[in-house]
Structure 1
Amino acid sequence: MTPRKSYAALTFTFAATLLALLVFAIIQSSRTTELKLSAGQQGGVYIPVAESIARLIQQEDEDIEIEILESDGSAANAIRLSKGECQLALLQNDTPGDDTIRSLVPLQTGALHFLARKDAKIRSLGQLEGKRVGVGLPTSGSHRLVTELLRHFEVDLNRIDLKPLTIQEASEQLKAGKIDAILMMIGLKTEVIDQVIATGQVEFVPIGRHAGPGSVIEGFRLTNPFVDPWLIPRYSYAMPHGDLPGVPEEAIPTLAIRSILVARRDVPDPVARQITQLVIENRNRLTQMHRDVSLLEDGLDSSRFQYPLHPGATQYYNRNEPGFLLRYAEVIGLAASLLFTAYGMIRTGRRWLLQRQKDRIDAYYSELNRLQDHMLKPLSLEQVQGVEVQLQRIRSTALNLLSKERLLPDESFRIFQTLLAEASAQARAKRQEAPTDTDGPDGD
């Protein structure tokens, strides 16, 4: 194949590859991303929040479709993420999981609701012994946290009738008197809890005496670092009879955990960034859809997350930070100056080296020219042999310098070889013409 044909084939291959990549990029950009978001139980806060987020994202970006999945709670969601059964989920920040999980957006804060029937006479965690208590399903984050809390306060779990119930089931059984208390992580103003309180048959029970420094919750945090002391505000829930503005009458010390919108780490970075951006920048709309997301923040302390941020979310949160070039402008400027200086020195050194090589080959040109001029004169055989020795020396020296790269195999060197060959031929011809020792006036 001729060079021209090879070049044409290479150009065609490159163009075809570029076109294929362009078509692939167009197809990929037009594809709809389908995601499954594992939420929570009916009657809880996770499903309404998840539905609000999904509705917002699909209104703002038609290329992202989100399907909401019911689940038994945070622990079940973490398992689904690990198995790849969903790509997004809502988790309590303290939920155990594996390295497939990445954080996107902090959402609402869930508070531990300790509600007891007034006739049960329960005033503390220690008085739960012998009582029937709804603590959430075994696959919920609430169930695990409550059992750890009871152990921390040295409450004998074998002496409590712990009921694995959904929020809806626990609320109904508490109203019906089938259980004595609820101990669950629940978002403030959850509707089913509001309905239970509206009966006037239940009351809040505090966790410790206060939620400030040195509280019992601070001690619990030593082994559960993602838990925060919290106060259920006064009058969070309305009273139905109008004789009081609401309950509780005083702020109730308890503990709280942030809920997090998380993703699998294999969710593409652009998709994760888009979801993070849409949720954060439309938090006012989300608040109108569901009040629990009113605690959304634009900034965040990622050290308060159990799971590392998804790279796509990191890109969004760092959007206002100076870029790499701006942050390291001085260092880059110094490096550029040093590189330009080094480049200039290398160019100067190269020019000097090339000049030395040129000067060296020019010296050989001069030597060959001198020898050729010398052979224009009548020479004896001995003188011709001396010229041939000098030519051989020049040839050997030049080849030695060439092997050491002190001469370049360029056009100047090829001219030198031509001149050397001409001088050698001239010397051979001169040797044939030179008189020998037997030649003379009487030699015939």
Structure 2
Amino acid sequence: MKKTIIAAIAIIFLASCNPTTLTFSFIYNDEGPNKEIASKMKELLESEFNVEIMLIDGLNTNANLDSLIHDKVDIALVENYVNYQEGLNSAFSVYSEVLHILYQEGMDGSTFASLMYDGPVYIGREGSPTYNLMMDLWDYYGLDASQITVTHNMPDARVVVELTNLFTKQHLQDYQGFKLFSFDDANNLSDASTVQGITLKYPRLSPFIIPQNSYWSFTDKPIVTLSVDLVMMVRSRMGEVAVNDFTKTMLRNRQIFTSIDPLLFEGMKEDFDQAKLNIPLHEGARIFLEREEPSFIERYAELGGVILSIIIALWSGIASLTKWQAQKKKDKIDEFYEDLMNIKNGITGISTIAEGMKRVKRVQLAQNKAFEMLIEEKLVANDSFRIYMELSKETINELRGKMRILKTKQERATS
């Protein structure tokens, strides 16, 4: 009994040494420099505060937003090209992603429609910001999507669309034999220009000019295109003090991020245009931007709660320790692996598209369940968990590949 009492006091003492340590989950799409941006944000926040930031490679924009809305994650990097939904808020604008449309030399690049119909066209994975933006542009131009050949394999494309940061010289070397499409002549920009018409219908987009010679031989003249802001978003129920501190720290240390891309220097500013945000500001970010510092009680209410919890824990330490010893966590990830491998091993036997879609849904539901168990601390965010998430994404891609093969066979059979 004496040893048990000493162990209980030791646990309480260790907890009191660092009572404000909190864990936040940060999801992003691994496109362009997003992973590097998220990693630098993690390093900065963990160096400034007693927090642990868990990075998660997301599936797509809609899935990331769903995770925020349902409190499965705390922070996300999401394009400001999504519809308003309750449960999430903006913190600040990170930088402007630029739309690049590249086409092979010899193609008719005089109009947007001629390029799209003369494909095949690569527009990124389904549900990605690039994909969603192109769907809107096809609608704006009145194009028949069924007449546009889309490829999911970039090397097969004659037209490649990327919504990303500014290209480096090394990146452009991958596009030898290609040209950049321009929506307008830079000298003819006005309220009646094509890009102004597009942004009038889709106000989350902005005109963007890639200056002459900035892309070497690709820009023998200015390229008129579009851009959309990448925004740091948070779940609405995230604490005001945390959002306030995180926003203030990252915006005041923006020089750390400029080595990633020059656009970050222009994007991560305290005086960014809040009116352009499609998702309203979180109150914690607004407090910082309008310089309303949290009161003493607001800032330290959480710490006071922790101290109170420690006092209570002192009285119930022995009982808590006994309960903790009796209820050690069990890693249940093997159950997810077993189900996933059954699906993966059965891909070759799928004979219908409906069957394939059913299994994709089954994997996605398992992913959501795994995240729920992670938040509930029934699973641990270790290497096994991360490998499972990667393997599940790979399985979804294999299932979708199988469905494309089945679709092709059906089309050939009916032709």
Residue type of the partner of 1:56? L
Cα 1:72–1:130 shift into 2, 3 Å: farther
User: Which amino acid in the other structure matches residue 203 of structure 1?
Assistant: K
When normalised by structure 2's length, the TM-score is 0.62
Q: Which residue in 2 is equivalent to 1:206?
A: 182
Partner SS for 1:137:
coil
Aligned letter for 2:82?
T
Summarize the Cα distance change of 1:28–1:151 in structure 2 as closer, same or farther, 3 Å threshold.
Answer: farther
CA distance in 2, matches of 1:181, 1:259: 24
1:287 to 258, 267, 278: 258
Q: 2:54 aligns with which of 45, 55, 67?
A: 67
Once the two structures are TM-superposed, the CA of residue 259 in structure 1 deviates from its matched residue by 0.8
Q: Which residue of 2 aligns with 1:261?
A: 232
Q: Give the structure 2 partner of residue 224 of structure 1.
A: 202
Deviations 1:226-275 (CA, angstroms, capped at 9, x unpaired) = 111111222333xxxxxxx4431211011111110010011111110011
Q: Verify the 8 A CA contact 2:166 2:261 in the aligned structure 1.
A: no
| Code of the aligned partner of 2:28 | A
Identity among equivalent positions (%) equals 19
Name the residue aligned to 1:403: none
Equivalence for 2:42: 54
Q: Comparing both chains, which one has the higher relative contact order based on Cα–Cα distances under 8 Å and sequence gaps of 6 or more? A: 2
- The alpha carbon displacement at 1:27 in A equals 5.8
Q: What is the deviation of 1:161?
A: 1.0
Is structure 2 residue 164 aligned with structure 1 residue 186? yes
- Say yes or no: does 1:105 pair with 2:92: yes
What is the CA deviation profile of residues 267-300 of structure 1, one whole-angstrom value per residue up to 9, with x for unaligned ones?
A: 1111100110011100112213554421221213
Question: How far is 1:183 from its partner?
Answer: 2.1
Is 1:129 the counterpart of 2:103 in the alignment?
A: no
* Residue number in structure 1 paired with 2:330: none
Aligned to 2:275: 303
Mapped pair 1:31 → 2:7: no
User: 1:32-58 deviations in whole A, cap 9, x for unaligned?
Assistant: 22112111125x222121112222222
Counterpart residue number, 2:373: none
Deviations 1:329-368 (A, max 9, x none): xxxxxxxxxxxxxxxxxxxxxxxxxxxxxxxxxxxxxxxx
Q: Secondary structure of the equivalent of 1:307?
A: coil
* Residue-by-residue CA offset, 1:84-143 (whole Å, 9 max, x unaligned): 232111111122352111111111101111111114343321112141111121221221
Residue 83 (structure 1) shift: 2.9
Query: What is the deviation of 1:219?
Result: 1.3
CA–CA separation in structure 1 for the residues paired with 2:34 and 2:237: 23
Alignment partner of 1:140 is 2:118:
no
Unaligned ranges ≥5, structure 1: 1-22, 238-244, 324-444
| 290 and 230 in structure 1: CA distance in 2 versus 1, 3 angstrom threshold | closer
User: Structure 1 CA distance, aligned partners of 2:43 and 2:255?
Assistant: 14
Q: Secondary structure at the match of 2:78?
A: strand
Return the offset for 1:320: 7.1
- Opposite residue 150 of structure 1, the aligned amino acid is W
| CA 1:119–1:70: 2 relative to 1, 3 Å | farther
Q: Is residue 40 of structure 1 aligned with residue 29 of structure 2?
A: yes
**Closer/same/farther in 2, CA of residues 265 and 288 from structure 1, 3 Å limit:** same
Q: Corresponding residue for 1:277?
A: 248
**Aligned residues of 2:239 and 2:284 also touching (Cα < 8 A):** yes
Shift, 1:157, TM fit: 1.2
The 1:223–1:134 alpha-carbon spacing in structure 2 relative to 1, beyond 3 Å, is same
Does structure 1 retain, via aligned residues, the 8 Å contact 2:165–2:261? no
Q: 1:90 aligns with which of 57, 77, 88?
A: 77
Question: What is the CA–CA distance in structure 1 between the aligned matches of 2:58 and 2:170, rounded to whole Å?
Answer: 18
Q: 1:247 is paired with a residue of what secondary structure?
A: helix
- Structure 1 outlier segments of 4+, above 6 Å: none
- Displacement of 1:191 in angstroms is 7.8
Equivalent residue for 2:139, pick from 132, 136, 151? 151
Mapped to 1, the partners of 2:77 and 2:162 lie a distance apart of 17
Which secondary structure state, in structure 1, belongs to the residue aligned with residue 258 of structure 2?
Answer: helix
Distance 1:190 1:150, change over 3 A: farther
Q: Does the C-alpha gap of structure 1 residues 29 and 95 become closer, same or farther in structure 2, counting only changes over 3 Å?
A: farther
How far has the Cα of 1:72 moved from its partner? 4.0
SS in structure 1 at match of 2:209:
strand
Please report the TM-score for the alignment, with normalisation by the length of structure 1.
Answer: 0.58
Q: Give 1 or 2 for the bigger CA radius of gyration.
A: 1
Counterparts of 1:71 and 1:79, CA distance in 2:
11
Residue 81 and residue 52 in structure 1: after superposition, are their counterparts in 2 closer, same or farther (change >3 A)?
same
- The alpha-carbon deviation at position 215 of structure 1 amounts to 1.4
**Residues 232-251 of structure 1 aligned to structure 2 (within 5 Å):** 232-237=210-215, 245-251=216-222
- The aligned length equals 277
Going from structure 1 to structure 2, the CA distance change for 1:310 and 1:109 (only over 3 Å counts) comes to: same
The structure-2 alpha-carbon separation of the partners of 1:190 and 1:306, relative to structure 1 and needing over 3 Å to count, comes to farther
Asked if the contact 2:70–2:87 (Cα under 8 Å) also holds between the matched residues in 1, the reply is no
Q: Aligned residue for 2:288?
A: 316
In structure 2, C-alpha distance between the alignment counterparts of 1:28 and 1:300, rounded to whole Å: 39
Q: What's the C-alpha RMSD, in Å, of the aligned pairs? A: 2.5
- Equivalent residue for 2:103, pick from 108, 113, 116: 116
Q: CA 1:301 to 1:290, structure 2 compared with 1: closer, same or farther past 3 Å?
A: closer
Deviation digits for residues 162-190 of structure 1 (CA, Å, limit 9, x no counterpart): 23x4xxx63xx1xxxx1111123211126
For residues 137 and 76 of structure 2, what CA distance do their matches in structure 1 show? 25
Report the secondary structure of 1:78's partner residue: helix
- CA distance in 1 between counterparts of 2:159 and 2:177 reads 11
User: Partners of 2:84 and 2:16 in 1: how far apart?
Assistant: 35
